[in-house]
Structure 1
Amino acid sequence: MNGTAVRVLGAATAAYSAAIMIRPRWLGRPCGLTGPDGDVPTSTALLIRAVGARDLAVGTAMLLASGPSARRTATACRVAADLSDAALFGTLLPDAGRRPKIAGFAAAWGALCAAAAAAESRG
Structure 2
Amino acid sequence: MKVGLLRAVGVATAVYGVAVAALPDLLARPSGLADAQGRTASATRTALRPLAWRDAVSGLAMTLAPEGPALRTAAYVRIAADFGDAVLLGATLPGRGRKLSAVAVSVGWGALSVAGLLADRRQWGSGVMRSVEVGPLRVRR
What is residue 36 of structure 1 aligned with on the other side?
36
Could you tell me the TM-score, scaled by structure 2's length?
0.81
Question: Any gaps of 5 or more consecutive residues in structure 2?
Answer: 122-141
The structure showing larger relative contact order (alpha-carbon pairs under 8 Å, at least 6 residues apart) is 1
Partner amino acid, structure 1, of 2:21: M
Give the secondary-structure state (helix, strand or coil) at the position aligned to 1:30. coil
- What amino acid is the match of 1:15? V
Q: Which whole-Å deviations, capped at 9, do the CAs of 1:43-92 have from their partners, x for residues lacking one?
A: 11111111001111100000000122111100000000000100011111
> Size of the alignment, in residue pairs?
121
Higher helix share: 1
**TM-score of the superposition, structure 1-length normalised?**
0.92
The amino acid that maps onto 1:13 is T
Aligned to 1:111: 111
Q: Deviations over 1:77-112 (max 9, x none)?
A: 000000010001111112233111111110111011
Partner in structure 1 of residue 84 of structure 2:
84
CA distance in 2, matches of 1:64, 1:29: 31
Distance 1:116 1:33, change over 3 A: same
Aligned pairs for 1:1-123 (under 5 A) are 3-119=3-119, 122-123=120-121
Q: Percent identity, please.
A: 38
Q: Which runs of 5+ in 1 are unaligned?
A: none
Does structure 2 retain, via aligned residues, the 8 Å contact 1:13–1:59?
yes
- Would the aligned equivalents of 1:32 and 1:98 in 2 still touch at CA under 8 Å? yes
Greater strand content: 2
